[in-house]
């Protein structure tokens, strides 16, 4: 029997999974939705997001993920496309990802990320990353 494993979007969270939670090798499908009540100053609003992501993981080698997110805030909508992956090389892991949306209202127009990490001892990992994001929408400046 196959089980579906839910993984966080982005490469940073993939490096924080303890050994007891290693993902099984193979294809992944993650479908989800969130609804959050948000208050900023005196303004109440509902933020909604829906996502679908496919991925492929080979437990000791690496993985690749691609997906689409629909983000809705204050009556505006950003449709975000993203892809990320990682490659394990012994105690070292290389990761990276890209993402973007066409008419960004509150998400980045594009995002490019790279990361290198190394297992120090047990499940302790040290990492360094570079992230580049284009101009962002109005919510980031609040």
Tens-digit pLDDT profile for residues 34-75: 999 988 888 888 999 999 999 999 988 999 999 999 999 888
> What is the model's pTM?
0.69
User: Among 1-15, 49-63, 78-92, where is mean pLDDT lowest?
Assistant: 1-15
Q: Stretch 112-120: mean pLDDT, rounded? A: 95
Q: What is the DSSP string of the chain?
A: --------SSSTGGGG--GGGPPPSEEEEEEEEEEEEEEETTEEEEEEEEEEEEEEEETTTEEEEEEEEEEEETTEEEEEEEEEEEEEETTEEEEEEEEE-SS-SSS-SEEEEEEEEEEEETTEEEEEEEEEE----GGGG-
pLDDT at 139 over 70: no
Q: For residue 74, what pLDDT is reported?
A: 84
Percent of the chain with pLDDT over 90: 56
């Amino acid at each position: 029997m196959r089980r579906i494993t839910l993984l966080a979007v982005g490469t940073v969270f993939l490096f924080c999974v303890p050994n007891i939670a290693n993902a099984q090798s193979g294809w992944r499908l993650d479908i989800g939705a969130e609804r959050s009540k948000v208050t900023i100053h005196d303004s109440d609003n509902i933020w909604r997001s829906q996502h679908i992501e496919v991925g492929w993981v080979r437990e000791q080698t690496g993985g690749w993920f691609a997906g689409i997110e629909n983000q809705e805030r204050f009556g505006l909508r950003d449709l975000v496309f993203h892809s990320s992956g990682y490659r394990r090389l012994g105690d070292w892991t290389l990761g990276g990802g890209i993402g973007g949306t066409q008419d960004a209202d509150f998400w980045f127009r594009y995002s490019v990320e790279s990361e290198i990490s190394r297992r120090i001892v047990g499940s302790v990992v040290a990492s360094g990353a570079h992230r580049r994001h284009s101009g962002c929408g109005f919510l980031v400046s609040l």
